[in-house]
């Protein structure tokens, strides 16, 4: 019941996410593994370079800590669930990476055959799934539960998708990595949100509505 009720409150994220899953399934069925990576490798634009470098950072420490600090001013409960989602998505993605141990584009194609952007350091191992994509979809999906204006969920989806695309654009992952990373992220966020709200772990129900109260900070 809690799952069904709350998923309805995140429809502006869920609907485009379902469309993404359908289109993504078609892409996986119709193109070869490295085709999108090679497409991005051969088609560069200065604006896109800048945007995707920034988008990739949405799933990195500095941005995430900033988001969680904002949530602390909204409610300790939301910040706690976001932090737990971040932790769970990291553990989940890193565990699967080591289980599958798939090569990244730099190892698959050879770094000398790729046109990397600036001083970007290319990685070689643990490609599947994309950790950035998993974390971005997990966090932005759970953020959708927290906002009163549900249209923000559309922006959250765009930001999560931008992070996923950035991992291909920056030659760090294949499409299959970011596609399944997005699914893993949404599943983890859903499990965290439903399970925490259905329990009183650490006395959650007693302090979840408390907040820092720094109303004029942002």
Asked if residues 105 and 37 have their Cβ atoms less than 8 Å apart, the reply is yes
Residue 3 pLDDT level (bands cut at 50, 70, 90): low
Report domain extents, the chain.
Answer: 2-207
Q: Which residues of 163-174 are buried (b: 16+ CB within 10 A; e: fewer)?
A: bbbbbbbbbbbb
Per residue in 128-137, pLDDT (tens digit) is 999 999 999 9
Burial label for 129, CB within 10 Å (0-12, 13-18, 19+), is buried
Mean pLDDT calculated for residue range 7-24? 93
pTM, rounded to two decimals: 0.93
Mean pLDDT calculated for residue range 139-151? 93
Count of beta carbons in the 10 Å neighbourhood of residue 212: 15
Burial label for 11, CB within 10 Å (0-12, 13-18, 19+), is middle
Fold annotation for 2-207: Vanadium-containing Chloroperoxidase; domain 1 (1.20.144)
C-alpha R_g of the chain? 18
Question: Omega into 129 within 30° of 0, i.e. cis?
Answer: yes
Long-range Cβ pairs for the range 109-112 (8 Å, 24+):
109/34, 109/37, 109/38
Per residue in 48-95, pLDDT (tens digit) is 999 999 999 999 999 999 999 889 888 999 999 999 999 999 999 999
Q: Tokens for 160?
A: 């999560």
- Tell me, rounded to whole angstroms, the distance of Cα 213 from its chain centroid: 28
């Amino acid at each position: 019941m809690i799952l069904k009720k709350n998923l309805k409150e995140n429809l502006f994220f869920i609907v485009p996410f379902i469309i993404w899953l359908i289109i993504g399934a078609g892409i996986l069925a119709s193109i070869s593994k490295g085709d999108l990576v090679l497409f991005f490798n051969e088609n560069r634009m200065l604006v896109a370079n800048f945007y995707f470098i920034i988008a990739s950072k949405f799933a990195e420490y500095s941005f995430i800590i900033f988001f969680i600090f904002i949530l602390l001013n909204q409610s300790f409960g939301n910040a706690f669930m976001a932090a737990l989602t971040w932790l769970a998505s990291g553990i989940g993605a890193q565990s699967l990476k080591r289980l599958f141990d798939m090569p990244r584009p730099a190892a698959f194609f050879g770094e000398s055959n790729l046109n990397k952007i600036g001083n970007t350091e290319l990685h070689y191992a643990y490609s599947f799934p994309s950790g950035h994509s998993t974390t971005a979809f997990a966090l932005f999906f759970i953020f959708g539960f927290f906002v009163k204006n549900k249209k923000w969920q559309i922006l959250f989806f765009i930001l999560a998708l931008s992070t996923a695309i950035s991992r291909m654009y920056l030659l760090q992952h294949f499409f299959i990595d970011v596609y399944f990373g997005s699914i893993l992220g949404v599943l983890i966020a859903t499990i965290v949100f439903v399970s925490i709200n259905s329990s009183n772990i650490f006395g959650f129900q007693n302090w979840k509505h408390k907040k820092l109260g720094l109303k004029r900070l942002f």
